[in-house]
Amino acid sequence: MTYFIWGSIVVIMIAMIPIVIRMVKGPSSADRVVALDSIGVALISLIGLFSIFAETSFYLEIILLLAILSFIGTVAFSKFIEKGDIIKRDNSR
């Protein structure tokens, strides 16, 4: 079981290399947002595998926090790309 976990960790880390390249070099902002979201998913899976390896449930709270932050970040970046601002301020009052 240990070899399977370490093998999975290595495969995910190798898969993160092109994702990081896409995030840095991406031709558009949308590509960078998708790459950033993919990095979040890969980090969540790495922490999940490490949690299985360490035989503890402490890291599951970290996974939940990363998932929430990744979702909020993706929504914020998408809204910024679409409209140019994240929070619309109405100064007419």
Residue spans per domain, the chain: 15-81
Q: Give the tokens for residue 85.
A: 């601002």
Residue 10: the pLDDT is: 94
Please tell me the distance from the alpha carbon of residue 14 to that of residue 64, in angstroms, as a whole number.
24
The average pLDDT across 33-45 equals 91
Question: pTM of the entire structure?
Answer: 0.79
Q: What is the pLDDT of residues 51-78, one digit of tens each?
A: 998 888 888 999 999 999 989 988 888 8
pLDDT of residue 13: 94
Average pLDDT over residues 33-42: 90
